[in-house]
């Protein structure tokens, strides 16, 4: 095992490895631009024999996986959507199989055949890079790659992934969370600020994703629950403060204007808040609330909130870029 002395040594080692590959390359990158290997993902993608078995795992920006397997969004994660898109295009265009993982790995590796590996271990005081041609170590990192590959998400149609309002969604069973480019959200929010009646044209799931985006822009970490078995709340919103971590349960109702949201919806969420010992609940709707719902919330106003059509419209307009 040796450590690369500088970035030039690392790049030279990596390019020598990939150009000399005879059977396969398995790349598990912590950064979508490939910075940890001294070469960009594009450099690696275009430097190999396309007849080999070429596979790459890339992190999906802004997501991390919880212990229960669900996915949460964290806007502080640094990988760029644009870096991801460019890398996907380069890899797919040169014959690589690409899959996404929901969080930046604690180990990244470039494994060539059964012969050599460049790897990082991010929990170590000196994370790397390290180079090894020892069979046991190469096998260890290839097995780690195979395990991650088995739990990853296939990518299709990378050329349209983040164009306009296209959405990439992870499977429902894992807690589907839409990933849309910042530009696409800006476009949608701008449109809804001008034509708020188009809120009623969104399907219910898209409305949930919109509310999750607005909450994330307010600085909360959000998790969208699966559309089935959501436990009476569509979104979990976590807020870190000086006095502790707070959990808000959010229920979204995409109703037509003529169909007010009744008190039963509000009571149900209030019960879930109490059962899960959450900080508070919020019902967000594209219609008005019934008089009974308003009366109920007035009595528990520190634990329940309501946002009707007008409030949602104002909320959207508050996030329109100047």
Which of 160, 190, 225 delimits the end of a domain?
Answer: 160
- With a pLDDT cut of 90, the percent of the chain lying above it is 45
Q: What pLDDT does residue 169 have?
A: 42
- The pLDDT, as a whole number, for residue 291 is 96
**Count of structural domains, the chain:** 2
**Higher local confidence (pLDDT), 65 or 236:** 236
282 CB-contact burial (10 Å; exposed 0-12 / middle 13-18 / buried 19+): buried
Q: How would residue 270 be classed by pLDDT, with cut points 50, 70 and 90?
A: very high
Q: For the chain, what's the residue count?
A: 322
Q: What is the mean pLDDT of the chain?
A: 82
CA-based angle 231:215:250, to the nearest 5?
A: 20
Whether the pLDDT of residue 222 is over 60: the answer is yes
Domain span at residue 314?
172-318
Give me the mean pLDDT over the 280-305 stretch: 96
Q: Is 141 a member of any domain?
A: yes
- 236 and 291 together in one domain: yes
Q: State yes or no: pLDDT of 181 exceeds 60.
A: no
Query: Are residues 183 and 137 both part of a single domain?
Result: no
Domain identity same for 180 and 131: no
Q: What is the mean pLDDT of residues 210-239?
A: 82
Q: What is the pLDDT of residue 122?
A: 84
75 or 31, which is more confident? Answer: 31
Question: Residue 82 maps to which CATH number?
Answer: 3.30.870.10
Determine what percent of the chain is predicted with pLDDT higher than 70: 79
Per-residue confidence (pLDDT) for residue 175, from 0 to 100: 39
Q: Within this chain, do residues 231 and 128 fall inside the same structural domain, yes or no?
A: no
Together in a domain, 85 and 205: no
In a domain, 166, yes or no: no
Same domain, yes or no, for 52 and 179?
no
Task: Select from 160, 188, 209 the last residue of a domain.
Answer: 160
Q: Which of 160, 182, 214 is the last residue of a domain?
A: 160
- Verify that 156 and 215 share a domain, yes or no: no
Residue 209, domain CATH:
3.40.1350.10
Residue 280 within a domain: yes
Task: Answer yes or no: do 289 and 260 share one domain.
Answer: yes
Residues 91, 31 share a domain: yes
Q: pLDDT per residue over 142-174, tens digit each?
A: 999 999 998 887 654 333 333 333 334 444 333
């Amino acid at each position: 095992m040796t450590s690369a002395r500088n970035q030039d040594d690392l790049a030279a080692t990596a390019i020598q490895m990939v150009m000399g590959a005879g059977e396969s390359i398995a790349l598990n990158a912590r950064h979508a631009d490939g910075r940890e290997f001294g070469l960009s993902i594009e450099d690696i993608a275009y430097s190999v024999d396309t007849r080999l078995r070429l596979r790459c795992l890339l992190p999906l920006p802004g997501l991390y996986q919880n212990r229960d397997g669900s996915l949460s969004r964290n806007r502080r994660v640094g990988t760029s959507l644009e870096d991801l898109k460019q890398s996907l295009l380069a890899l797919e265009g040169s014959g690589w199989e690409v899959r996404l993982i929901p969080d930046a790995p604690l180990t990244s590796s470039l494994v060539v055949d059964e012969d050599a590996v460049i790897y990082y271990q991010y929990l170590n005081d000196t994370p790397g890079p390290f180079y090894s041609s020892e069979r046991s170590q190469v096998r260890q990192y290839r097995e780690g790659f195979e395990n991650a590959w088995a739990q990853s998400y296939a990518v299709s149609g990378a050329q349209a992934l983040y164009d306009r309002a296209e959405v990439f969604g992870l499977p429902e069973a894992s807690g589907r969370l839409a990933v849309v480019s910042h530009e696409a959200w800006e476009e949608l929010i701008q449109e809804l600020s001008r034509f708020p009646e188009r809120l009623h044209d969104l399907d219910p799931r898209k409305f949930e994703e919109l509310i999750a985006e607005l909450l994330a822009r307010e600085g909360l970490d959000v998790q969208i629950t699966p559309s089935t078995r959501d436990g009476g709340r569509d979104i979990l919103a976590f807020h870190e403060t000086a006095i502790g971590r707070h959990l808000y349960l959010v229920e979204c109702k995409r109703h037509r204007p003529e169909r007010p949201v009744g008190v039963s919806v509000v009571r149900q969420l209030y019960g879930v808040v109490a059962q899960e010992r959450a900080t508070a609940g919020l019902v967000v709707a594209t219609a008005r609330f019934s008089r009974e719902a308003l009366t109920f919330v007035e009595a528990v106003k520190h634990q329940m909130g309501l946002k009707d059509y007008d409030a949602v419209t104002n909320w959207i307009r508050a996030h329109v870029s100047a």
